Chains A and B, each alone.
Chain A
Amino acid sequence: MAYALETIGLEKSFGGIKATNQVSLRIRKGARHALIGPNGAGKTTVINLLSGATRPTAGKILLDGQDITDREPHDRVRLGIARTFQINQLFGDLTAVETLGLAISERGGMGHDWWRVAGRKQTIVDEIGELLGRFGLTDVMGERTATLPYGKQRLLEIALAFACKPRVLLLDEPAAGVPDAERDSILTTVAALPTDVTVLLIEHDMDIVFSFADRISVLVNGELFMEGTPEQVAADPRVKAVYLGEGDNA
């Protein structure tokens, strides 16, 4: 069972509609796995189920073989699965330094420490510095997040999830809405994520997917349509049909 993340018959219904239907994913350790599909295929619902933001109607989620289906979102982060959001979910009033420091101290179990002044621990300070460097945020580290350029916010979005030191990182359209000029820095950063972190990338944009993923699952109408290597997926006429049928609104 060398799977970092596995879902068994995952289902989620909203009213009578099955947003996720019998999704069984298996993601190998260290994989660069992409989950693709046309708009409304239910990609983000899958991420929400994996992160615990919504609860499945049926099915199981296993993280390194451990059942996390009933765990609270914050518990899952501690167990080693973290996510980013398609639409930035950041702390507008905090700076990048504070945002990352927060995630690191939570991870270290210091979040309930109400006595120490934040930032007195050298290990935390060093790690923040390292993260700022890795995600190209050093130049804006002291600015309020709300005033950062969108591309920087996007990088912080990823950096924040990465700061939780996940074994499995869920990236929900990391480059969504980023202007072309800033896009490259995000893609380079994502490509440079350490290989011991398993990455599940949710993406609409085919260029990103094919430059990044070593394995692709295609989701259509909440169901797994096919899975394979990028070459197999690219060659599959049905996948093309699904995307062409949807029209060009990428």
Chain B
Amino acid sequence: MPARPSLPSLDVAGQLARRARWTPLEIVFWLVAFATIYFLPGRHLILTEIVIWALFALSLDLILGFGGILSLGHAAFFGFGAYAAGLLAKHGIITEPVLALFAAGLVTTLLGFITSFLVLRGSDLTRLMVTLGVALVLREIANRYAELTGGADGLQGITMAPVLGMFRFDLFGRTAYVYSLLVLFVLFLLARRIVNSPFGLSLLAVKGNALRASAIGIPVNWRLVAIYTVAAGYAGVAGGLLTQTTAFASLEVFSFDRSADVLLVLIIGGIGYLYGGLIGAIIFRLMQDWLANITPQYWQFWIGLVLVLIVLIGRDRMAAWFQPIIRLFDTLGGRMRRMGAAPGGGER
């Protein structure tokens, strides 16, 4: 829309709210996501996996895309949440899944807060090593205390109570999918709100230029602690969802592979706009599924190749390929908005 110099203050407000505005493409994205509940009933198991990957990658996007913190051990929080949810259910401490998931997220948030101080100092390399180390340590703790965690056999004998006391986890994974998707949606809305707040803007500033951020009064370290803590909670919820929907947790939840894969997912989808983790999860999991069917032993070859291509071609150039589609939706959206504002006056 052209700037209107006669109403400068109006433009300023519009400019500020620009990032927070819902685009038609986003609305379509979520409509399609919820439509799959009815249209892809046979695929709910893999869709649930996608949702969990999406939430996990969304969590990584919060720290990498908005905090600029590179982590190779994000599975630490995923795993912690997974075991927390498993233990809560197994020992009947909190049986109702939603409440238990909330509790699992909360304790993981606490873990995130404590470990956040480790990633404040140092370069990207230090952070990579520290995050990697934390995940390894947690994995070994889970391995060592087998009487609590089941060790290498995993946490078995979990029975899940119905969600909200009403919706039983069924064999086809429908409840699990709807439940996971709703959790993802709610947490996505919250994340969207957070990154578009003044706090979120300050994170972008910290990520963009920490030196200047502190020179305009932003307490850089506290902002990083805050987002790292929140992201840990998100990862914990993702892990908790995995345990709840599969009634099982194994040491794999802490694995380096998982930390590396979630980074892969986020890079495939794109960093720093929240949808990257979601789109990446869809592409990653579907590609994995498809390739594993064609070439069961060597599917990782193709994943690796795709990754190399994505990085070489570059995000910007690939985004340009999709520009026409995005523009089309923007035009449609703009037209709809204008029609809503002035009925009958839809033309420019």
Interface residues of A (CB under 8 A from B): 51-53, 72-74, 77-78, 82-83, 85, 89-95, 97-99, 101-103, 105-107, 110-120, 122, 124-126, 128-129, 132-133, 138, 141-142, 160-161, 163-164
- Contact between B214 and A118, CB atoms less than 8 A apart: no
In the complex, besides A97-B15, A119-B16, 14 extra interface pairs with C-beta distance below 8 angstroms are A77-B217, A89-B209, A91-B208, A91-B212, A94-B208, A101-B16, A110-B198, A111-B198, A111-B218, A112-B199, A128-B16, A129-B8, A141-B12, A160-B216
Q: Could you tell me the distance between the alpha carbons of A2 and B9 in the complex, rounded to whole angstroms?
A: 38
Please encode chain B, from 180 to 208, with 1 for each CB lying within 8 Å of some chain A CB and 0 for all others: 00000000000001101111111011001
A105 to B196, CA, bound (A): 13
Contacts of B196 in A (CB 8 A): 117-118
Q: Which 9 pairs across A and B sit closest by C-beta, in order of nearness? A: A119-B16, A77-B217, A89-B212, A114-B199, A105-B198, A97-B15, A91-B208, A73-B214, A117-B20
Query: B198–A78 contact, CB under 8 A?
Result: no
Which of B5, B11, B196 has the most CB atoms of chain A within a 10 A radius of its CB? B11
> Is the C-beta of B13 less than 8 angstroms from some C-beta in chain A?
yes
Instruction: Write out the residue numbers on chain A whose beta carbons fall within 8 Å of the beta carbon of B202.
Output: 102, 105-106, 111
Q: A115-B193, A117-B20, A119-B13 are in contact. Are A77 and B216 (CB under 8 A)?
A: yes
Could you say which residues of chain B place their CB within 8 Å of the CB of A98? 15-16, 201
Interface residues of B (CB under 8 A from A): 3, 5, 8-9, 11-13, 15-20, 193-194, 196-202, 204-205, 208-209, 211-212, 214-220, 222-223, 226
Is A111 within 8 A of B199, CB to CB?
yes
- CB pair A107 B217 closer than 8 Å: yes
State how many angstroms separate the Cβ of A143 from the closest Cβ of chain B: 10
* Nearest CB of chain A from residue B187's CB, rounded to whole Å: 14
- Choose from A51, A89, A118, A133 the contact partner of B16 (Cβ within 8 Å): A118
In angstroms, how far is the closest chain A Cβ from the Cβ of B169? 33
Given contact pairs A94-B205, A114-B193, A119-B16, A141 touches B11 in the complex (Cβ within 8 A): yes
How many A-B pairs with Cβ below 8 Å? 155
User: Which residues from B are CB-within-8-Å of A110?
Assistant: 198
Residue of A whose beta carbon sits closest to that of B10: A125
Residues on B with C-beta less than 8 A from A138 are 5, 8
Q: Roughly how many angstroms separate A175 CA and B209 CA in the complex, as a whole number?
A: 21
Considering the complex, give the chain B residue whose CB is closest to the CB of A73. B214
B9: which A residues are within 8 A, CB to CB? 122, 125-126, 129
Cβ 8 A contact of A113, one of B15, B197, B204, B215 = B197
B219 surroundings in chain A (CB, below 8 A)? 72, 74, 111
The answer to whether A113 and B199 have CB atoms under 8 Å apart is yes
Which residue of the partner chain, among A51, A83, A91, A142, contacts B15 with CB atoms under 8 Å? A142
Please give the distance in Å from B201's CB to the nearest CB on chain A.
Answer: 5
Contact A114 B216 (CB under 8 A): no
Q: Determine if B220 and A74 form an interchain contact, defined as CB atoms under 8 angstroms apart.
A: yes
Which residues of B sit under 8 angstroms from A74, Cβ to Cβ?
A: 214-220
A142 and B198 in contact, given A72-B214, A89-B209, A101-B16 (Cβ under 8 angstroms): no
Cα distance A45–B226 in the bound complex, in angstroms: 32
Given the complex of chains A and B, what is the CA–CA distance between A112 and B8 in angstroms?
Answer: 27
Set of chain A residues within 8 Å of B20, measured between Cβ atoms: 117-119
CB-CB under 8 A from B211, the residues of chain A are 53, 89
In Å, the complex CA distance between A98 and B20 comes to 12
- A111 nearest CB neighbor, chain B only: B202
Instruction: Give the CA-CA distance A114 to B20 in the complex, in Å.
Output: 13
- Known contacts A97-B12, A129-B12; decide if A116 and B217 are in contact (CB<8 Å): no
CB proximity of A46 to chain B, nearest CB, Å: 15
B314 to chain A, nearest CB (A): 16
Are A92 and B17 within 8 A (Cβ)? no
Interface centre among A52, A73, A113, A114 (most CB of B within 10 A): A114
In the assembled complex, the Cα of A101 lies from the Cα of B11 at a distance in Å of 13
Q: Which residues of B contact A78 (CB under 8 A)?
A: 217
A61 to B160, CA, bound (A): 63
Chain A residues within 8 Å of B18, by CB: 142
A-B pairs with beta carbons under 8 Å apart, 23 shown: A52-B214, A53-B211, A72-B214, A77-B215, A82-B216, A90-B209, A92-B209, A98-B201, A101-B198, A110-B198, A111-B202, A114-B226, A118-B19, A118-B198, A119-B20, A122-B9, A125-B9, A128-B16, A129-B9, A133-B8, A141-B15, A161-B216, A164-B217
* A171–chain B nearest beta-carbon distance, Å: 13
Determine the chain B residues whose CB is within 8 A of the CB of A102 once the complex forms. 198, 201-202, 205, 216, 218
Give bound CA distance, A52 to B16, whole Å: 30
Q: Contact: B208 with A92, CB < 8 Å?
A: yes
Please tell me if the beta carbons of A113 and B212 are within 8 angstroms of each other in the complex: no
- Nearest B residue to A142 by beta-carbon distance? B15
Cα-based distance from A114 to B196 in the complex (angstroms): 8
Residues of B within 8 A of A129 (CB): 8-9, 12
CB of B272, distance to nearest CB on chain A (Å): 9
Contacts of A160 in B (CB 8 A): 212, 216
Query: Whose C-beta in chain A lies nearest to the C-beta of B20?
Result: A117
Complex: A1 Cα to B228 Cα, angstroms: 45
B15 touches A103 (CB 8 A): no
State the CA gap A64–B167 with chains docked (Å).
65
Q: Is the CB of B17 within 8 A of A117?
A: yes
B193–A118 contact, CB under 8 A?
no
Residues of B with C-beta under 8 A to A119: 12-13, 15-17, 20
- Alpha-carbon separation in the docked complex, A81 to B214 (Å): 12
A85 to chain B, nearest CB (A): 7
Closest to A96 in B: B15
